[in-house]
Amino acid sequence: MERRTVLITGAAGRWGRRLARQLAKFPIVRVIGLDISPPERPIDGVDYIQADLRNPLLVELLRTEKVEGILHMVFTSGLSGGHGALSPEDAFQTNVMGAMEVLAAANAAEVKQVVIKSTTMVYGAHVDNPLYLHENAPLRGTDGKPLLRHRYEIERFIADFRRNHAMNIAVLRFPGIVGASGASSTMRYLGQPTPPTLLGFDPLMQIVHEADVIGSLLHALVAEANGVFNVAADGVMPLSQMIRRVGGQPLPIFHPFAYAAERFSLVRNNRLANKIMPFELDYLRFPWIADTTAMRGELNYEPRHTAEEALDAFRSSLRLQSYRDLLPKRKAYDGIQAFLNRRRQEDEA
């Protein structure tokens, strides 16, 4: 059987690494990882290429390597980069223009399938939202943080691109992501002892386990899915219940004060403030629950973890982390490295 070649953009990042690790387990799949930064630890069976995805040679690479599928995982927060903070212009170029370049190159090279990770936040949080937002609902999450506008611009481009090209493009929209890694904005928010909430508001919320993020992205690739799909765990619950389930205590704030503080640029652009409150305040006030009928019916994917199970897994990881923090720090001396250095010196003598 001929091996299928898959390209993962952003392969050195958190999601790209995990996808590459899973795909590399299958002998019928050849994995090429593309990232502007080198990977922390190479993965056996993955060919890494350190390059900007906007390189004009991308089309030639896709053609030469006969790439059949692309998992596009490049999306920078703009808060940090390899050489410090990224400017808003650089973040836009990487996120929006990068996605456009990838789709254009994939179309020119006749790639069969592209899978892109997105968020249900693109629907926006509004008082007049229906209880369940279908994939064809208008995208009204265009205000506030620039990263959400980037997601909106990418999805708007994909919708236009899809009308003029026959390539399969699967866009998977996820709500808050939780799990053991503690790396998402939702996990940083819920992992605080007293996450701030808005006094008098307790909206229903959705989440998804990070293992189901990986599972659904790979499923969409294998199934050659085409379209937009909301992917979320079974079960919705009030925000306050989520916070208490992972061991926290909500800290209600009078919402006019919270909105007034958010308008100050010193607050909006402060890293600590963004870690404490990584969302626009409307997402803690109004509903933005996504319908998952298409996930089960058209995509034919069933999450392995319910919302309760995902939160319980996250709480367990928080407990383990608290135990690690109590352990004395080990010395950084690396005896193995010192031994190997001496051995090399002996061999060279």
Max mean pLDDT among 34-48, 135-149, 299-313 falls in 299-313
Percentage of the residues of the chain whose pLDDT score is greater than 90: 68
Average pLDDT over residues 295-322: 92
Q: Are strands 237-238 and 204-205 parallel, antiparallel or unpaired?
A: antiparallel
In angstroms, the CA 266 to CA 254 distance is: 20
pTM over 0.85? The answer is yes
The secondary structure of residue 93, as a DSSP letter, is I
Pair 10, 72: CB distance under 8 Å:
yes
| Average pLDDT of the chain, as a whole number | 88
pLDDT at 114 over 70: yes
In angstroms, the CA 162 to CA 321 distance is: 44
Supply φ then ψ for residue 116, to 5 degrees. Answer: -125, 135
**Which pLDDT value is given to residue 320?**
78
**Which pLDDT value is given to residue 339?**
66
Least confident of 166-170, 230-234, 304-308, 343-347: 343-347
Let me know the angle formed at the C-alpha of 307 by 283 and 275, rounded to the nearest 5 degrees. Answer: 40
What are the structure tokens assigned to 184, written together? 């998402």
**Which pLDDT value is given to residue 262?**
74
**Which pLDDT value is given to residue 124?**
94
pLDDT band at residue 184 under the 50/70/90 scheme: confident
Pair 68, 83: CB distance under 8 Å:
no
Q: Which residue has the higher pLDDT, 225 or 324?
A: 225
Least confident of 4-13, 31-40, 258-267: 258-267
- How do residues 244-274 score in pLDDT, each as one tens digit? 999 999 999 998 998 888 776 555 566 666 7
Hey, which residues does 115 pair with through a beta bridge? 71, 170
The secondary structure of residue 284, as a DSSP letter, is G
Q: Are strands 227-230 and 29-35 parallel, antiparallel or unpaired?
A: unpaired
Residue type, 313: A
Pair 122, 152: CB distance under 8 Å:
yes
Residues with Cβ within 8 Å of residue 244, at least 6 apart in sequence: 250
pLDDT at 299 over 60: yes
pLDDT at 324 over 70: no
In angstroms, the CA 171 to CA 181 distance is: 23
**Element spanning 262, H or E:** helix 255-262
Q: Are strands 29-35 and 4-9 parallel, antiparallel or unpaired?
A: parallel
**Which pLDDT value is given to residue 326?**
52
**Which pLDDT value is given to residue 62?**
97
pLDDT at 151 over 50: yes
Pair 298, 227: CB distance under 8 Å:
yes
Residues with Cβ within 8 Å of residue 183, at least 6 apart in sequence: 14
